[in-house]
Structure 1
Amino acid sequence: MIHLQLLRLLRPVWAGMLLATLVGLALSALAIAQALATALLFSGIVDGLSLSVLVGPFAVLAAALLLRPAATAGRELVAHGVASRMKRVMREKFLEKDEALGPFGGQDVRLGERHALLVDGIENLEPYVTRYLPQVIVTIITAVVTVSLLFSIDPVVGAVAAGTAVVVPLVPRLWDRVLRGRGDEHWSAYSQLHADVVDSMRGMETLKLLGAEQRRRAELGRSGDSLLRSTLSQLRLSLVESGLTGFLLVAGPALALGVAVARVGSGALEPAALFAVALIGFEVFRPFRDLSNHWHAGYLGVTAGTRLLAYFNTPVLGSAISPVSDDVPAGTAVEIHNVRVRYPGADETALDGLTLRIPRATVTAIVGGSGSGKSTVANVILGLLTPDEGRVAVVDGQGRPPVSLVSQDPVIFSGTLRENLAVIAPDADDVQLREALALAEAGELADPARGGLDAPVGDGGGLLSGGQRQRVAIARALLRGSPVLILDEASSALDVRREHDLLESLRRSVAEGGLTVIVIAHRLSAIREADDILVVDDGRIVEHGTYDDLVLAGGVFARLHAAQSQGVAQ
């Protein structure tokens, strides 16, 4: 059943697999022709035929010997082409699925496990797709043709060869269930070790600071030992299966030849026919030997294929595309009505009947205590979470993405400042790049004394401070040109003066360019000048108004203000 499911998964490369099968059949045809020509030559020499009679078989033999290397090279070229396309298609499909799941889907699969599946899992599919599957058809057709030839020589010999040929692929299948279980254990151990290594590399600084690197090293050692045990266990079982298959592959031609010798002894078969029986008998079982080799090479691909199928079948609970509606009321950037949201796997509702309206060309702040639902509102606006109930409408971007997000810890790519900005705006000139940096209060980063736009930022932005990384990310988002910009704690690493200057700069863009800015913040100093402040508590909007009005109201916001004024962390 798993093979049929994998075949459906591999539909985009069926044409290439068919071509690989045809080339494999051509190779088998050449091998059979070579065997027949050789048998005719040997029997002709034994019978004392003249050289003129043997010219035909000799020409066929010479042609087969010349064409087989060319056909073998062609098979390798076809296999390489199919493998390249298969890996490209599978990885595109994987990444599309990853994008469709969004940041909250597929969380039961660790990042390192997904990485192992994307890289090594799909790589392991190559021998299964390019070698094993085409060889299945080649083996069946070749076996039918060669056994038919043996039947034409002698029905008894043909029946013996046919019976042995049926046994060869069936007996090893007795190990399939155990092999499948061992293969699954091996892949689990491998992906677990891969995930542990990825987690360790990402958290190396934290492990060092906590003094936990030795403990982590011991854990990795245990994961490595587990992988070694599962690998050796699978190899032991595989060697038993390989030994049995190898014995049958040798016994098959020998048995057919032995029966033929007995038939010659009884006078039922001419002695010269032994050449044809020996050579064609070998060709009956040669494809099975290739099939066995390809099966062992591609078995990990079957195991990885089951994981790929499971990942591709993971239900999509959200969309990575922001909801856009043409019926957003005039003057409105975002409208959310009676929205209820629950994170995948969570027991509690994150937003419960939330309703809000954010006008265009305004600075709107969303505040609240930890876990109140502030970031969930941003995820709903971005379309990363699909509401269980309610309606979300976002202004049309008029050909541009409607919403851009800058988070507290933005991703900065290795390379230069220019390259990080060009990721969003590859056609922007230097003037536009500098203007975006200036608007994000990061103009000093483009100073020629520092290297200008071509200054390196280091691996992951390691040569920049936390505040500089945030401002570069804001400049990058501004270059995207979305009508709505969400800043989710995006100025948390800035000092108060720099944060004030940044928000004032963005306010000018709001006034001049019609940008709508949504600020999500814990630090209330960042939103003192906001046009409207929405206070979220327990997944609902409980208050809204200006900063001073909300302080005077004495509600949730007033308590947050008082706590921060007294230096109490929220």
Structure 2
Amino acid sequence: MMLHPELLRAARTARRPLGLATVLLAAITLTHLAQAVLLAVVLSRIAHGDTAALAPLLLAVLAVVLIRAALGRAQRLTAVTAGATVRIRLRDTLLARLGGLGPTAITGARAGAVRATLVDGVEGVDAYVSRYLPQALITAAVPPLLLVAVALIEPYAALALGLALVLALFGPRWWDRLLARRGKEHWDSYEALAADYLEALQGMATLRAAGAVGRVRERLEKRSAALHRATVAKLRVSLVDTGLTDLAVQGGTAAAVLVACSSAATGRTAATGTYLLLMLASECFRPIRDLSREWHAGYLGVSAADGIAALRTAEPAVADRGTVDARWDTAPEIRFLNVHFTHPGADRPALDGVTFTAPAGRTTAIVGPSGAGKSTLLSLLLRQRDPYRGRVTVAGTATAAYSLASLRRGIAVVSQETYLFHATIAENLRIARPAATDGQLRAAARSA
């Protein structure tokens, strides 16, 4: 069983529904055990020729099956609720963090890779938390208890089952490191392909104009081939894991059957005990088989967990320690005082001792060739980065003294290339001010 700290942290946001889903799963397990006991009694009576009281027992088996079906439906609905809660809260957390980081703080991350983490990675967390974790708890609790019950009936059978259970549970852990490495390689390949596809779609017009569609297609084909190789490599390790588990399950069951038959032949075990032993031997391995199935469903979440943790814990480019609320009745004065700034990784400074004043109530134009630092000035004004030296003030107060939200709310940016979200014009305009009336929207549109 692999328990990733980041995924366990996500699971804590839905303790109640996850707890209820686990309790219902335990109740379903109890119905399997009840059915096993009832069938053992039925077979024992048939073996003794006592068929008079079979009807009540068979009705009891039918009732157990119906109860299990109802519990199964309730458990699935509860698990879906728990998974949706985890998924929504995790995405909200990641999106809030992404918004707090600012555009310049994640220049090393590609949009397609971030999208893969936010969408596909979080979906994998859903399956891991809602299906794998409850089953892991059942698997940790049920087989040891059943092993004790088997030992009370036939100690030698318990010994055979115990060895098989140890092999089924801990044998695959020999490959955990290799599986984790293969999983990371698979996720990295998937992220790279997702990023390339998104960039190709967004820049299709440019690629066509430059005649570069063919070259980009070749790169995407190479990325796809790399993802295929990583997927196959991960599957090879996963199949070894599954094969070892299946070998332990089948071998342990067969060994228990042989011991039960030997015990019945020598008269050490009565007919009811023999049949019960056979039924419990199968039930010992049911949680392990179910865990293996849920593990494969939720492994995508484990692969994406490191990326999710990196995004959730990423530090913003600037600290939001300001306490002043930026409220200006009129356009304020803006000053840059001996400002120095160099972009990370750059050899030359973007701004080197820049000093100027944009007077209140007047239009100040800053012109210059591409790369002169015009966008950098705006970035520093919005505190997407802080200058290495010097000060930026608005209305006589340093920008660092304002809270980030209020500072950015007080500055309107009209970009040369405007991005429209897939929504109505009114919804796009209300992004900055959700409570704006239709009249205010019309006035803002006319002004723009």
- Name the TM-score class by shorter chain: 0.7 to 0.9
Cα separation, partners in 2 of 1:36 and 1:348, compared to 1, 3 Å? farther
Q: What TM-score comes out, normalization by structure 2 length?
A: 0.87
Cα separation, partners in 2 of 1:323 and 1:246, compared to 1, 3 Å? same
Please tell me whether residue 408 in structure 1 is matched to residue 416 in structure 2.
yes
Cα separation, partners in 2 of 1:370 and 1:246, compared to 1, 3 Å? same
Question: How far did 1:393 drift?
Answer: 4.5
Greater share of residues in strand: 1
C-alpha RMSD over aligned residues: 3.1
Cα separation, partners in 2 of 1:331 and 1:267, compared to 1, 3 Å? closer
Q: What TM-score comes out, normalization by structure 1 length?
A: 0.70
Q: What is the count of residue pairs matched by the alignment?
A: 438
The residue aligned with 1:502 is: none
Greater share of residues in helix: 2
Distance 1:161 1:35 in 2: 17
Question: How far did 1:318 drift?
Answer: 2.5
Distance 1:222 1:211 in 2: 19
Please tell me whether residue 25 in structure 1 is matched to residue 33 in structure 2.
no
The residue aligned with 1:213 is: 213
Distance 2:347 2:252 in 1: 62
Q: Is the 8 A contact 1:256 1:281 kept in 2?
A: yes
The residue aligned with 1:226 is: 226
Moved more, 193-202 or 56-65: 56-65
The residue aligned with 2:398 is: none
Moved more, 419-428 or 113-122: 419-428
Moved more, 126-135 or 264-273: 264-273
Q: Is the 8 A contact 1:341 1:385 kept in 2?
A: no
Distance 2:264 2:338 in 1: 91
Please tell me whether residue 436 in structure 1 is matched to residue 444 in structure 2.
yes
Cα separation, partners in 2 of 1:374 and 1:257, compared to 1, 3 Å? same
The residue aligned with 1:450 is: none
Question: How far did 1:79 drift?
Answer: 1.7
The residue aligned with 2:118 is: 118
Moved more, 386-395 or 318-327: 318-327
Question: How far did 1:170 drift?
Answer: 1.1
Distance 1:257 1:398 in 2: 73
Instruction: Within 5 Å, give how 1:5-404 maps onto structure 2.
Output: 5-49=6-50, 51=52, 57-58=57-58, 60-318=60-318, 324=324, 332-336=332-336, 339-346=339-346, 348-352=348-352, 354=354, 357-388=357-388, 391-394=391-394, 401-404=409-412
Q: Is the 8 A contact 1:101 1:320 kept in 2?
A: no
Distance 1:326 1:236 in 2: 58
Q: Is the 8 A contact 1:322 1:382 kept in 2?
A: no
Q: Is the 8 A contact 2:326 2:410 kept in 1?
A: no
Partner AA of 1:207 in structure 2: L
Partner AA of 1:149 in structure 2: A
Deviation string for 1:181-220 (max 9, x for gaps)? 2222222222211111111111111111111111211221
Partner AA of 2:275 in structure 1: F
Partner AA of 1:412 in structure 2: L
Q: Is the 8 A contact 2:4 2:305 kept in 1?
A: no
Question: How far did 1:389 drift?
Answer: 5.0
* SS of equivalent residue, structure 1 residue 303: helix
Q: Is the 8 A contact 1:101 1:319 kept in 2?
A: no
Cα separation, partners in 2 of 1:413 and 1:296, compared to 1, 3 Å? closer
* SS of equivalent residue, structure 1 residue 405: coil
Partner AA of 1:249 in structure 2: V
Instruction: Within 5 Å, give how 1:490-569 maps onto structure 2.
Output: none
Cα separation, partners in 2 of 1:241 and 1:384, compared to 1, 3 Å? same
Question: How far did 1:151 drift?
Answer: 1.6
Moved more, 347-356 or 27-36: 347-356
Distance 1:73 1:335 in 2: 65
Distance 1:2 1:165 in 2: 19
Distance 1:430 1:59 in 2: 67
Cα separation, partners in 2 of 1:321 and 1:92, compared to 1, 3 Å? farther
Distance 1:102 1:434 in 2: 29
Question: How far did 1:104 drift?
Answer: 0.9
Distance 1:15 1:342 in 2: 49
* SS of equivalent residue, structure 1 residue 406: coil
Q: Which runs of 5+ in 2 are unaligned?
A: 396-401
Q: Is the 8 A contact 2:327 2:410 kept in 1?
A: no
The residue aligned with 1:4 is: 5
Question: How far did 1:69 drift?
Answer: 0.5
Q: Is the 8 A contact 2:317 2:384 kept in 1?
A: no
Distance 1:60 1:338 in 2: 86
Q: Which runs of 5+ in 1 are unaligned?
A: 440-474, 476-570
The residue aligned with 1:536 is: none
Q: Is the 8 A contact 2:127 2:298 kept in 1?
A: yes
Q: Is the 8 A contact 1:91 1:118 kept in 2?
A: yes
Question: How far did 1:348 drift?
Answer: 4.8
Moved more, 199-208 or 380-389: 380-389
Cα separation, partners in 2 of 1:337 and 1:16, compared to 1, 3 Å? farther
Cα separation, partners in 2 of 1:433 and 1:301, compared to 1, 3 Å? closer
Distance 2:441 2:273 in 1: 83
Q: Is the 8 A contact 1:33 1:64 kept in 2?
A: yes
Cα separation, partners in 2 of 1:3 and 1:319, compared to 1, 3 Å? same
* SS of equivalent residue, structure 1 residue 366: coil
Partner AA of 1:27 in structure 2: I
Question: How far did 1:263 drift?
Answer: 2.4
Distance 2:307 2:331 in 1: 48
* SS of equivalent residue, structure 1 residue 384: coil
